[in-house]
Amino acid sequence: MEDFFEEQVNETEYFNVSQYLKGILKRWWIVLIVTVVISVPWIIYLKGQPPVYEAETWISFENVTGAVPENLIQSRIMKLKSRSFAEEVTAELGLTLELTQQEDLPEVKRQDIFQKFSTTMNPVAGFYSIHISPMGTCTLFYENKLLDSLDTEKIVDDTVEYNGIIFKLNPNVIHDRPQIDFKIKDFRGTVKSLIDREDIGTSRDGDLMRITLSDADPHLASRTVNMLAEIFIKKSIEMGKEANRFMRNYLENQLGVVQQQLNQSDYQLKKFRNTHIIGLDRETQDIIARLDAIDRNINECTLNKEELGLLINKLDPSVSDFEAGTSTRFIYSQLASQSVFKGDAEMAVARQELNELYQQRGDLHQRGFPELNPVIMEISEKVTLVEEKIYQLSKAKIIELGKQISDLQKEKIEFHKELDTHPEEELKLIKLTRQRTANEEIYELLLKRYKEAQISEAVASENVSILDPAIPPLQPINAGKKKKAAFGFIFGLLMGVGVSLILEIADKSIKTQEDVKRYLKLPILGIIPNVKFDNYEIQDSEKAKSISSQIVTHDYSPTPVGEAYRSLRTALLYSKKIGAIRSLVISSVFPSEGKSFTAANVAITLAQQKSKTLLIDADLRRGVLHNNFNCPKKPGLTNYLTGVVPLETILNETYVPNLSLITCGSLIPNPSELLGSEKMKRFIEGITKRFDFVVFDTPPLIAATDAVVLGTFVDGVSVVVRAGKTKREEIQRKLELFNNVQARMIGIILNGAGIEIAHEGYSYYSY
């Protein structure tokens, strides 16, 4: 029995894996329910899912600048995910069509029915039906209302249009199907569905773009993704050219004018020199050089001012020469990138901030966020503020350039005054020379800007082509339903085990002898297996009758429960650590934990040891032991302590040899005071001399402190703990009551344990 009294273990010394495994097995029904709740709907969902096919195409970008900027990549993705692209594809391919399959006919695809099917961008949604007569006529219905009746040959040979639906039938359908039913879905909803089903990715360098699309029809999926790529290529080239064309045209026109002026000034200078032999002194040449520098600055400032003014004017909605395909985003980017702002820190910050905001908004659009999403709206507000800042900085720069031009003009006038003192012929030579130099510098400046504009237009009009067109996929992407169903079952099983494990971890009750040693720091006197009653929560009187018929120790039967009580008796009589005990109080923390059942069986096992044993029902509020042994409740302990009857009157012999019983007696208003009285103390002193062993059954600690009071009069106190029910915090709190009195707590009796816990070493059934 020394195993019951081994040294207490530290809480952190071990993690009892077996306890958690037993807890999971105990809650097998939770595991089963969670597994069924998760796996069954998943399997039903998989079974009802139609096959989904995914088609993909690759677009190649040949860009003259090498690596593609991130903002350009995001711009491409935004175009592909734009509503206008999706609307064009939806209308061209008639994606709003949904065929109604007929039960008595084999399933068909749209290409089996229609040679061509498309819609406008506002088709009339609803149910349509085409009835084909053997007589060569074809009747069209919308919502069971007649639309038209025409020859079958017309609907096969020519394209017809009704309610925004454009189609032509296959010839084979005339003989195979007398009726064709289909539905036209909402156009806006179909467009949104198309955008949601698109998936766009790019290579690391941005020179390749992959477009994938899923659909229940493999042929329609491939056609849709190919058309999407074709429209993207067409639109991107058109928009890129238009976005850069207006700047190149402006510079080209200016070059023509300056070219004529340069030719004219060159001709006049040569003509003058052919008729006059004259030169300029060094001082005059210095003045002319300074005037040329001033003219060069004036020309550059004037050109910058005109370019800024041109871009700002393009932001005016009333300007009619600006193509709708060119976005204001391009204008603001051009404004912020003008060479006149080189070295301008404020404009550099605004330019960087604008590009970052464009990229953030593009990322959100790519992830499917709608335009009215609060995050996108907030970014758009910030974009508007930055664009306004760029606009104001550009306006301020125009004013600044105008002031610079004015200052340079004043300086130019002063130098001209110095030249006016020269002879007339010399002044004419100076004028012709300066005019020719100024025209040459303006031409070179415009030519440089023109070449830059040509390069920008070439970059925007990069060579875009379909590298790998989509083909109808052969296998659906949602194949392998059995594997997915097995995965759902395994996931449900793991979730069930997880729930059971969480419940086990959250369970703060005492379940095993290790829990008693770890949390209560008390020895185990005995572990009693669970005794199953029909209803353990019945009323006291009915419970007592049920217990009376199942007292397990009186007939010496070799049951696990009987052996457990006999082991408990051995621990009480022969343990070296407990020592000699002749009187024992048995209590519990809560009702229905088996204290009366335990007290009765402990007393029986002691009596079977040929020890003269007395069992006292000290539960003066709800005593039940009189029912167990079929003895009268009155007179009893309360009647003796109040002096109503003598001791011999309340001693009842039971059907168990050597076992006597004192019942609780009549109900009194002050049982605790009576149990703690001096007369009770003298009673215990006398009765322990008369009997070899006295066992007291007391009320639960949650109801009264009678067990604590009686514990000061007897040799020891033991508390019954019901495995899996008694919470450790509650029993710890109640056991603290014994720390303040002269009561001896000798150990815990663990009741209601599993057979595997109670009989780990001596089960009769393992011999």
475 burial (CB, 10 Å; 0-12 / 13-18 / 19+) is exposed
Q: Cβ contacts of residue 673 below 8 Å, gap of 6+?
A: none
Does 542 or 82 have the greater pLDDT score? 82
Read off φ and ψ for residue 763, nearest 5 degrees.
-70, 130
622-669 pLDDT, tens digit per residue, is 888 888 888 888 888 888 888 888 888 888 988 888 899 999 888 888
Residue 767 has a pLDDT of 34
For residue 65, being part of any structural domain is answered with no
The model's confidence at residue 141, banded by pLDDT at 50, 70 and 90, is: very high
What's 723's domain CATH number? 3.40.50.300
pLDDT at 615 over 90: yes
What is d(CA 91, CA 87) in angstroms, rounded to the nearest whole number?
Answer: 6
> What's the chain's Rg over C-alpha atoms?
51
Beta bridge partners of 717: 585, 745
Clarify whether residues 590 and 454 are in a common domain: no
Q: In what order do the strands lie in the sheet with 165-169?
A: 114-119, 165-169, 160-162
What is d(CA 339, CA 13) in angstroms, rounded to the nearest whole number?
Answer: 74
Q: Cβ contacts of residue 29 below 8 Å, gap of 6+?
A: none
Q: What is the dihedral of CA 514, 520, 524, 527, to 10 degrees?
A: -70
296-354 pLDDT, tens digit per residue, is 788 778 878 877 887 787 776 554 343 433 457 777 877 888 878 888 888 888 888 88
Clarify whether residues 273 and 398 are in a common domain: yes
Tokens of 546: 């049920």
Clarify whether residues 457 and 500 are in a common domain: no
67-92 pLDDT, tens digit per residue, is 555 556 666 677 677 787 788 888 88
Buried b (16+ CB within 10 A) or exposed e, 651-666: ebebebebbbbbbbbe
pLDDT at 696 over 80: yes
Residue 365 has a pLDDT of 65
CA max distance for the chain: 164
Tokens of 27: 């809650």
Residue 566 has a pLDDT of 83
Residue 284 has a pLDDT of 66
For residue 720, being part of any structural domain is answered with yes
Residue 126 has a pLDDT of 92
Clarify whether residues 490 and 545 are in a common domain: no
For residue 90, being part of any structural domain is answered with no
Does 239 or 177 have the greater pLDDT score? 177
For residue 23, being part of any structural domain is answered with yes
Q: In what order do the strands lie in the sheet with 524-529?
A: 524-529, 745-753, 716-722, 583-588, 693-697, 613-617, 659-662, 652-653
What is d(CA 147, CA 154) in angstroms, rounded to the nearest whole number?
Answer: 15
258-274 pLDDT, tens digit per residue, is 677 767 766 665 555 55
Clarify whether residues 564 and 485 are in a common domain: no
Tally of domains within the chain: 3
Residue 186 has a pLDDT of 92
Clarify whether residues 583 and 703 are in a common domain: yes
Residue 166 has a pLDDT of 92
Residue 408 has a pLDDT of 84
666 DSSP assignment: S
Q: Cβ contacts of residue 572 below 8 Å, gap of 6+?
A: 525, 578, 581, 584, 602, 606
For residue 339, being part of any structural domain is answered with yes
Tokens of 515: 């829990």
**Which range among 173-177, 334-338, 353-357 has the greatest average pLDDT?**
353-357
Tokens of 337: 């990138």
692 DSSP assignment: S
Residues 641-648: contacts with CB under 8 Å, at least 24 apart: 641/674, 641/677, 641/679, 641/680, 641/683, 642/668, 642/674, 647/683, 647/687
Residue 268 has a pLDDT of 64
Clarify whether residues 729 and 602 are in a common domain: yes
The model's confidence at residue 543, banded by pLDDT at 50, 70 and 90, is: very low
Range of the domain at 547: 513-762
pLDDT at 371 over 80: no
For residue 299, being part of any structural domain is answered with yes
Clarify whether residues 482 and 457 are in a common domain: no
Clarify whether residues 721 and 600 are in a common domain: yes
Q: Cβ contacts of residue 690 below 8 Å, gap of 6+?
A: 612, 614
Last residue of a domain, one of 490, 506, 522: 506
479-513 pLDDT, tens digit per residue, is 777 888 888 889 888 888 888 888 777 777 777 77
Does 549 or 555 have the greater pLDDT score? 555
What is d(CA 53, CA 43) in angstroms, rounded to the nearest whole number?
Answer: 20
Place of tokens 């050089």: 289
Clarify whether residues 359 and 483 are in a common domain: no
For residue 240, being part of any structural domain is answered with no
pLDDT at 381 over 80: yes
630 DSSP assignment: T
Residue 270 has a pLDDT of 59
Clarify whether residues 414 and 493 are in a common domain: no
Q: 496 and 33 in contact (C-beta within 8 Å)?
A: yes
HSE (side-chain half, CA atoms, 13 Å) at 746: 26
Beta bridge partners of 138: 132, 150
Residue 661 has a pLDDT of 92
Establish whether the linkage from the previous residue to 635 is cis, with ω within 30° of 0: yes
561-591 pLDDT, tens digit per residue, is 778 888 888 888 877 677 778 889 998 888 8
Clarify whether residues 342 and 384 are in a common domain: yes
Residue 413 has a pLDDT of 77
For residue 354, being part of any structural domain is answered with yes
Residue 420 has a pLDDT of 61
22-61 pLDDT, tens digit per residue, is 777 777 888 888 888 888 888 888 777 778 888 888 887 7
